Amino acid sequence: MMSKIKSCALLGIDSYIVDTEIDISMGMVAFDIVGLPDSAVKESKERVRTAIRNSGFLFPQKRLTVNLAPADIRKEGPSFDLPIALGILCSSGVLDKDMFEDFAVTGELSLDGSVKPVNGVLSMVYESLSKGIKNIIVPFDNKNEAALVSGINIYPAKNLQEIINDFQNSTYSKKFYTSEKTEYEEETEYLDFADVKGQENVKRALEIAAAGRHNILIIGPPGSGKTMLAKRLPSIMPPLTFEESIDITKIYSVSGLLKDKGVLVTKRPFRAPHHTISPSALTGGGSIPKPGEISLAHNGVLFLDELPEFPRNVLEIMRQPLEDRTVTISRVNGKITYPSDFMLLAAMNPCPCGYYGYGDKCKCSENKIRQYLGRISGPLLDRIDINIEASPVNFNQISNTKKQESSEDIKKRVMKAHAIQAERYKDENILFNSQLSPNQIEKYCKLDDASLKFMKQAFEKMNLSARAYHKILKMARTAADLAGEENIKLEHLAEVIRYRNLDRKFLL
Binding positions for Zn ion, rule: CB under 5 A: 351, 353, 356, 362, 364
Nearest CB to Zn ion, comparing residues 349 and 478: 349
Closest separation in Å from C-beta 308 to Zn ion: 12
For residue 226, the surrounding DSSP H or E stretch is: helix 226-230
- Phi, psi at residue 304, to the nearest 5°? -110, 100
Distance CA 500, CA 389 (A): 10
Residue 266 CA to its chain's centroid (Å): 13
What is the crossing angle of helices 200-212 and 466-482, to 10°? 90
- Count CA atoms closer than 13 A to 124's CA, side-chain side: 30
β-pair partners for 136: 104, 154
Nearest CB to Zn ion, comparing residues 297 and 362: 362
Nearest CB to Zn ion, comparing residues 9 and 362: 362
Nearest CB to Zn ion, comparing residues 68 and 218: 218
Residues 6 or more apart whose CB falls under 8 angstroms from that of 117 comprise 108, 139, 140, 141, 142, 261
Nearest CB to Zn ion, comparing residues 239 and 357: 357
Distance CA 326, CA 251 (A): 12
* Residue 302 DSSP code: E
**C-alpha distances out from residue 453 to 121, 225, 402, Å:** 58, 36, 38
3-state SS, residue 444 = helix
Nearest CB to Zn ion, comparing residues 364 and 441: 364
Closest separation in Å from C-beta 449 to Zn ion: 43
Closest separation in Å from C-beta 356 to Zn ion: 4
Closest separation in Å from C-beta 370 to Zn ion: 12
Nearest CB to Zn ion, comparing residues 126 and 506: 506
Nearest CB to Zn ion, comparing residues 338 and 506: 506
Distance CA 66, CA 377 (A): 51
Nearest CB to Zn ion, comparing residues 371 and 377: 371
Residues 6 or more apart whose CB falls under 8 angstroms from that of 227 comprise 305, 347
Nearest CB to Zn ion, comparing residues 263 and 364: 364
Asked whether the beta carbons of 384 and 346 are under 8 A apart, the reply is: yes
Closest separation in Å from C-beta 217 to Zn ion: 18
Closest separation in Å from C-beta 224 to Zn ion: 14
* Residue 114 DSSP code: B
Residues 6 or more apart whose CB falls under 8 angstroms from that of 49 comprise 31, 59
Distance CA 429, CA 98 (A): 48
Nearest CB to Zn ion, comparing residues 351 and 497: 351
For residue 139, the surrounding DSSP H or E stretch is: strand 135-139
Closest separation in Å from C-beta 205 to Zn ion: 23
Closest separation in Å from C-beta 391 to Zn ion: 16
β-pair partners for 290: 285
The residue among 397, 425, 399, 409 whose CA lies nearest residue 482 is 409
Closest separation in Å from C-beta 351 to Zn ion: 3
Instruction: Determine the residue type at 343.
Output: M
Closest separation in Å from C-beta 499 to Zn ion: 23
Q: 3-state SS string over 455-486?
A: HHHHHHHCCCCHHHHHHHHHHHHHHHHHCCCC
Nearest CB to Zn ion, comparing residues 294 and 362: 362
The residue among 218, 188, 203, 199 whose CA lies nearest residue 303 is 218
Closest separation in Å from C-beta 227 to Zn ion: 19
The residue among 293, 336, 291, 298 whose CA lies nearest residue 315 is 293
Q: How many CB atoms lie within 10 A of CB 471?
A: 25
Closest separation in Å from C-beta 355 to Zn ion: 5
